[in-house]
A and B are shown apart, each in its own frame.
Chain A
Amino acid sequence: MNTLAHGEASSYRSFLESGDRKGILAWILSTDHKRIGILYLACMVSLFFVAVIIGVLMRIEQLSTSHHIFPPAIYNAFFTVHGVIMIFMFVLPGASAVFGNFFLPIMIGARDVSFPRLNLMSWYFFIVGALVVIASLFTGDGPPDAGWTFYVPFSLRTGTNIPLGVFGVFLLGFSSILTGINFITTVHRMRAPGMTWHHMPLFVWATYATAWVQVLATPIIGVTLLLVIAERIFGIGVFDPAKGGDPVLYQHLFWIYSHPAVYIMILPAMGAITEVIPTFAHRTIFGYRAIAYSSIGIAGLGSLVWGHHMFTSGMGNAANLMFSLFTFLVAVPSAIKVFNWTATLYKGSIEVKPPMLFALTFVFLFSIGGLTGLIQGALNVNVHLHDTYWIVGHFHYVMFGGTGMGFFAALLHWFPKMFGKMYNERVAAISWFPIFIGFNMLYGGMLVLGYLGMPRRYYTHLPQYSTGHLIASIGGFIMAIGLVLFFANLVVALFKGKKAESNPWGGVTLEWHTPSPPPLENFEEIPVIKDRPYIFNPETAQ
């Protein structure tokens, strides 16, 4: 990108050194998009580890069929809380709230988002929502146990503290909507001169498409959750079969949001991968427009496939057929991205540094996740696979193998820029091994278990599944070790890391033209963009 050469400014104050306030107030009262991004990062990584620990406890419970460490009710609470934290507090807002906040304004040459104060308010909604969900575990009549989907009529009949937990999720949704509004407006209004739509980096495109889904889909879950609360407190009867309500309608409303939400989760991670791959292949992205428009295509088509979660709910053959068809269609834009990433690598000068390692892992694991998705998208097979460990394996391949690995790749890619510190690349690469091997043992094992008929959400299993569960559990423990190593390396780097250069990877998008970490207002002068992004070799590119 031909911009003003910024270079390493001799004397500048980074955003970490700027501001009037000291200590924690400098963070929780700051409207700087970069600080807000880091606030999200700190909260999310903490919550992520809480959910990881719960996941490990579930794997411990599944080690044996005769000795039960946790009673069934606690196990039910485990998978509910694990799901709620992972989905609503890490995977869903993750890449968008952290890296979107930090890098979206910089990548379009802006000083901040359109509504900085609203941005901070979104974070408060997030943190209050998270605290309310956590409070629901310790108050009322026991922690929520209905699964992260809160299906009626069980969520109405169970005596546990569903209303408070659901209200926390409602607040998290509000945070997501406000962030979405902010990002859409920012992309429309704050682009630097010359930053036309087709000059925007692809991470911006992906975050932009995500923001639209956040704005258009989240209100539906908002009202649905409010109705569940009203149902529990007042008994309005809308979802209660005893009063003529239809529980399947709840499923429709839930998935009208929650399927597009899957794309809220994956799109920003795909965007991040699209930044990492050309940077480490030192080659311009292949099929810029195809990748950009496929983000929009995913956002659009992804809104029409929610019924594939409900093939066995009895909603009717015509609906089943249509939803199955659209499910196959939505695979097309995702595949377009995978092909374009692969084509970008072709004849590139590939350097497999840690960010690239995780980016390539994303492509591999996400492809498995996507292909298993097609298998269960077929109506007849779905009847067999519905509500089994296959489904659990599939969505972990997509959510963790996709979004999670994308998040890790993005974190390794942008960590030097965000904090101005360099982590130990060797340790980062070493941590990849346990993560990758453990991951495939755990979730690959789940795919096999599910195919053999192991139902999901059971606190124990029949003896014939013991070997599979043992392999999965061991994989889970190995992966947990890798995750600890991965994050410990970054925490050490925060305090003891070498100073990072402004452009350690040879990236070309705008964020690499600022010093590391960037100054408070990102740019001394707003850059003027003259060309498309990802031009690594200006002489040959012309």
Chain B
Amino acid sequence: MSTAPAHAHPVHKDYQGAKFGMWLFLFTEILLFGGLFLLYSIYRSMYPIDFHNGGKHLNVIIGVANTVILLTSSLTVAVAITAIQKGNKKLTLACLGVTIVFALMFLANKYIEWSAEIRHGIYPNGPELLKMPNGEKIFYGLYYSMTGLHGLHVLAGIIALLITLDFVRRDKITGTDFNKLENVGLYWHLVDVIWIFLLPLLYLAA
């Protein structure tokens, strides 16, 4: 998101405006997931026992591991922002790199987890899932939708972090002009926060 008009006018950068716009965008993200949370709450009250049973099949260890990974990656982004403010380019680059590695680890775990479930026939229209009661079908429908949409956001975050990393490398983001990094950080924290809600709702539902 840029604040610089493309005109040949003295470049006008409005950091507060850019951050304001970013916060608005984050609201829309919360509302996007909000639709899913709404469906979750209604279906959970309709099928409490099925949701309980559905949660039992999920791999809590991977879920918790991913939570730790994401929380730590939020820390590294925050450190990167502080580092750039203090003019420490090397540390910023390192922290962003570590964040990206964490994000990739998160997705790898997700891949392992989903493959295991798909092997067991638990996926939409999967043979095992079709034998389960309706409430569990819904539970897994929501499980795949919510974690899938969240996974897409992690992927988008990785791309944004890579671009930011490149900006820092080429000194487009510096100690006096780090607004883009801050905004990407905000986005990454949001991805983290949403996961913090997904963990108890899905994995700890049992």
Q: Which residue numbers of A lie inside 8 Å of B, CB to CB?
A: 31, 111-112, 114-118, 177, 180-182, 184-185, 188-190, 215-216, 218-220, 222-224, 226-227, 230, 234-238, 243-246, 249, 253, 520-521
Contact = CB atoms under 8 A, between A and B. Distances in A.
B200 interface: no
Q: Which of A114, A115, A116, A236 has the most CB of B within 10 A?
A: A236
A111 B28 contact: no
A245 B138 contact: yes
B21 interface: yes
A219 B7 contact: no
Contact of A521 (B9, B25, B28, B140): B9
A114 B7 contact: no
B167 interface: no
Contacts of B34: 219-220, 223
B199 interface: no
B35 A220 contact: yes
B176 interface: no
A236 B141 contact: yes
A181 B145 contact: no
The 3 closest A-B pairs by CB, nearest first: A244-B134, A236-B141, A223-B35
Contacts of A116: 2, 5-6
B116 interface: no
Contacts of A235: 124-125
A118 B183 CA distance: 15
A181 B24 contact: yes
B177 interface: no
B47 A244 contact: yes
29 contacts: A31-B6, A114-B14, A115-B3, A118-B1, A180-B24, A184-B20, A188-B17, A190-B14, A190-B17, A215-B24, A219-B32, A219-B35, A220-B31, A220-B35, A223-B32, A223-B34, A223-B36, A227-B39, A230-B144, A236-B124, A236-B140, A236-B141, A236-B142, A237-B137, A238-B43, A244-B134, A244-B138, A246-B42, A246-B46
B149 A226 contact: yes
B25 A216 contact: no
Nearest to A220: B35
Contacts of B6: 31, 116-117
A189 B14 contact: yes
Given A215-B24, A219-B28, A223-B32, A111 B9 contact: yes
A234 B144 contact: yes
Contacts of B20: 184-185, 188-189
A249 B7 CA distance: 48
Given A215-B24, A219-B32, A220-B34, A237 B124 contact: yes
B38 interface: yes
A40 to B, nearest CB: 18
Contacts of A230: 124, 144-145, 148
A216 B7 contact: no
A243 B123 CA distance: 13
A185 B145 contact: no
Contacts of A234: 123-125, 144
Nearest to B50: A244
B21 A227 contact: no
